Amino acid sequence: MKKLMRSAVLAVVVLATALTANAQKSDPWRLGIGVDGGLGLKTPTPFVLGGDVRLQKGIVHGLSGIFTTGYTHFFEKDNQASAGFIPVKAGLKYFPVSNFYVSAEAGAGFGVDKGLGTSFVWSPAIGYTFAKHWDVSVKYEDYTKYTETKQLALRIAYGFSL
Protein backbone atom coordinates (compact mmCIF):
# COMPACT_ATOMS: atom_id res chain seq x y z
CA MET A 1 0.00 0.00 0.00
CA LYS A 2 2.89 2.36 0.78
CA LYS A 3 4.31 1.71 -2.67
CA LEU A 4 0.95 2.55 -4.23
CA MET A 5 0.73 5.79 -2.23
CA ARG A 6 4.26 6.80 -3.25
CA SER A 7 3.35 6.15 -6.89
CA ALA A 8 0.21 8.31 -6.61
CA VAL A 9 2.14 11.17 -4.98
CA LEU A 10 4.88 10.90 -7.61
CA ALA A 11 2.27 11.05 -10.40
CA VAL A 12 0.80 14.24 -8.91
CA VAL A 13 4.27 15.86 -8.64
CA VAL A 14 5.19 14.88 -12.22
CA LEU A 15 1.89 16.19 -13.57
CA ALA A 16 2.21 19.49 -11.68
CA THR A 17 5.76 19.93 -13.00
CA ALA A 18 4.67 19.17 -16.57
CA LEU A 19 1.79 21.64 -16.31
CA THR A 20 4.08 24.41 -15.11
CA ALA A 21 6.83 23.69 -17.62
CA ASN A 22 4.80 23.00 -20.78
CA ALA A 23 1.59 25.01 -20.44
CA GLN A 24 0.85 27.63 -23.04
CA LYS A 25 0.98 31.11 -21.52
CA SER A 26 -2.27 32.12 -23.23
CA ASP A 27 -4.19 29.20 -21.70
CA PRO A 28 -5.31 30.30 -18.20
CA TRP A 29 -5.65 28.12 -15.16
CA ARG A 30 -9.28 27.15 -14.57
CA LEU A 31 -11.03 26.26 -11.35
CA GLY A 32 -14.20 24.18 -11.35
CA ILE A 33 -16.58 23.52 -8.49
CA GLY A 34 -18.74 20.45 -8.98
CA VAL A 35 -21.46 18.32 -7.45
CA ASP A 36 -21.90 14.68 -8.35
CA GLY A 37 -24.55 12.17 -7.56
CA GLY A 38 -24.48 8.58 -8.55
CA LEU A 39 -25.43 5.00 -8.10
CA GLY A 40 -23.33 2.52 -6.22
CA LEU A 41 -22.69 -0.48 -8.45
CA LYS A 42 -22.26 -2.94 -5.58
CA THR A 43 -24.58 -3.68 -2.68
CA PRO A 44 -24.99 -2.20 -0.05
CA THR A 45 -24.27 1.33 -1.41
CA PRO A 46 -27.17 2.30 -3.68
CA PHE A 47 -26.54 6.06 -3.61
CA VAL A 48 -23.41 8.23 -3.71
CA LEU A 49 -23.20 12.01 -3.28
CA GLY A 50 -20.14 14.22 -3.46
CA GLY A 51 -18.62 17.57 -4.22
CA ASP A 52 -15.28 18.51 -5.69
CA VAL A 53 -12.90 21.26 -6.65
CA ARG A 54 -10.90 20.78 -9.87
CA LEU A 55 -7.88 22.75 -11.06
CA GLN A 56 -7.21 22.53 -14.82
CA LYS A 57 -4.37 23.79 -17.01
CA GLY A 58 -3.83 23.34 -20.74
CA ILE A 59 -0.70 21.42 -21.70
CA VAL A 60 -1.00 21.46 -25.51
CA HIS A 61 -3.93 22.18 -27.81
CA GLY A 62 -6.81 19.89 -26.80
CA LEU A 63 -5.08 18.36 -23.77
CA SER A 64 -5.25 19.59 -20.18
CA GLY A 65 -3.88 18.37 -16.91
CA ILE A 66 -6.36 18.16 -14.03
CA PHE A 67 -6.06 17.93 -10.27
CA THR A 68 -9.22 17.12 -8.27
CA THR A 69 -10.08 16.85 -4.59
CA GLY A 70 -13.32 16.96 -2.63
CA TYR A 71 -15.55 14.66 -0.63
CA THR A 72 -17.52 11.55 -1.64
CA HIS A 73 -20.09 9.85 0.59
CA PHE A 74 -21.47 6.34 0.05
CA PHE A 75 -24.92 5.82 1.59
CA GLU A 76 -25.78 2.24 2.49
CA LYS A 77 -29.20 0.56 2.25
CA ASP A 78 -31.57 1.04 5.17
CA ASN A 79 -29.22 3.61 6.76
CA GLN A 80 -27.18 0.79 8.30
CA ALA A 81 -23.85 2.52 7.87
CA SER A 82 -22.08 4.75 5.40
CA ALA A 83 -18.58 5.67 4.30
CA GLY A 84 -16.91 8.94 3.38
CA PHE A 85 -13.73 9.56 1.39
CA ILE A 86 -11.56 12.52 0.45
CA PRO A 87 -10.12 11.72 -2.98
CA VAL A 88 -6.94 13.41 -4.24
CA LYS A 89 -6.53 12.68 -7.95
CA ALA A 90 -4.46 13.88 -10.90
CA GLY A 91 -5.12 13.14 -14.55
CA LEU A 92 -5.62 14.25 -18.11
CA LYS A 93 -8.59 15.73 -19.98
CA TYR A 94 -8.57 15.37 -23.78
CA PHE A 95 -10.85 17.27 -26.19
CA PRO A 96 -10.99 15.28 -29.48
CA VAL A 97 -13.54 17.84 -30.78
CA SER A 98 -14.66 21.21 -29.48
CA ASN A 99 -16.42 21.04 -26.09
CA PHE A 100 -16.55 17.20 -25.90
CA TYR A 101 -13.91 15.48 -23.75
CA VAL A 102 -12.71 12.25 -22.25
CA SER A 103 -10.71 12.22 -19.04
CA ALA A 104 -8.91 9.85 -16.74
CA GLU A 105 -7.73 10.42 -13.18
CA ALA A 106 -5.97 8.37 -10.53
CA GLY A 107 -4.83 8.99 -6.99
CA ALA A 108 -5.59 8.22 -3.37
CA GLY A 109 -8.89 8.16 -1.48
CA PHE A 110 -8.54 8.88 2.22
CA GLY A 111 -11.27 7.33 4.36
CA VAL A 112 -12.75 9.72 6.91
CA ASP A 113 -14.51 7.05 8.96
CA LYS A 114 -12.68 4.96 11.56
CA GLY A 115 -11.02 1.90 10.07
CA LEU A 116 -11.33 2.86 6.39
CA GLY A 117 -7.72 3.79 5.69
CA THR A 118 -6.46 4.83 2.26
CA SER A 119 -7.33 3.34 -1.12
CA PHE A 120 -6.13 3.75 -4.68
CA VAL A 121 -8.89 5.50 -6.67
CA TRP A 122 -9.27 5.79 -10.43
CA SER A 123 -11.92 7.47 -12.52
CA PRO A 124 -12.49 7.67 -16.30
CA ALA A 125 -15.17 10.08 -17.58
CA ILE A 126 -16.78 11.56 -20.67
CA GLY A 127 -18.22 15.04 -20.68
CA TYR A 128 -19.28 18.20 -22.42
CA THR A 129 -18.55 21.86 -21.67
CA PHE A 130 -20.90 24.67 -22.70
CA ALA A 131 -21.61 28.39 -22.21
CA LYS A 132 -17.91 28.95 -21.27
CA HIS A 133 -18.53 27.94 -17.66
CA TRP A 134 -20.60 24.75 -17.38
CA ASP A 135 -19.31 21.20 -17.46
CA VAL A 136 -21.46 18.05 -17.40
CA SER A 137 -19.88 14.60 -17.30
CA VAL A 138 -20.57 10.96 -16.52
CA LYS A 139 -17.86 9.11 -14.62
CA TYR A 140 -17.07 5.67 -13.32
CA GLU A 141 -15.11 5.71 -10.07
CA ASP A 142 -13.55 2.90 -8.08
CA TYR A 143 -11.81 2.89 -4.71
CA THR A 144 -10.01 -0.39 -5.29
CA LYS A 145 -9.54 -1.37 -1.64
CA TYR A 146 -13.31 -1.70 -1.16
CA THR A 147 -15.61 -3.66 -3.49
CA GLU A 148 -18.71 -1.68 -2.49
CA THR A 149 -17.27 1.71 -3.59
CA LYS A 150 -17.66 1.35 -7.34
CA GLN A 151 -19.99 4.02 -8.72
CA LEU A 152 -21.44 5.56 -11.84
CA ALA A 153 -22.08 9.29 -11.32
CA LEU A 154 -23.25 12.44 -13.05
CA ARG A 155 -21.07 15.50 -12.35
CA ILE A 156 -22.29 19.06 -12.90
CA ALA A 157 -19.71 21.80 -12.43
CA TYR A 158 -19.25 25.52 -12.85
CA GLY A 159 -15.78 26.65 -13.90
CA PHE A 160 -13.98 29.93 -14.35
CA SER A 161 -10.54 31.25 -15.31
CA LEU A 162 -8.14 32.24 -12.57
54-98 pLDDT, tens digit per residue, is 999 999 999 999 999 999 999 987 767 789 999 999 999 999 999
In contact, 34 and 157? CB cutoff 8 Å: yes
How far apart are alpha carbons 161 and 31 in whole angstroms?
6
- Is there a contact between 11 and 90 (Cβ–Cβ < 8 Å)? yes
- Residue 133 backbone dihedrals phi, psi, to 5 degrees: -130, -25
- pTM here is 0.81
Mean of all residue pLDDT scores within the chain: 88
pLDDT of residue 82: 84
Confidence of residue 4 (pLDDT cuts 50, 70, 90): low
The answer to whether the CB of 143 falls within 8 A of the CB of 117 is: no
For the chain, the structural domain boundaries read 2-161
- DSSP secondary structure string for all residues of 58-119: EEETTEEEEEEEEEEEEEPGGGS-EEEEEEEEEEEEEEEETTEEEEEEEEEEEE-STT--EE
* Torsion 36-85-94-96 (CA) sign: negative
pLDDT tens, residue by residue, 130-161: 998 999 999 999 999 998 899 999 999 999 99
Q: Domain 2-161 has what CATH class?
A: mainly beta
Confidence at residue 12, expressed as pLDDT on a 0 to 100 scale? 55
Residue 29 has what DSSP assignment? Answer: -
Per-residue pLDDT tens over the stretch 5-26? 565 555 555 555 555 554 445 6
Question: Around Cβ 58, how many Cβ atoms within 10 Å?
Answer: 21
What does DSSP assign to residue 19?
H
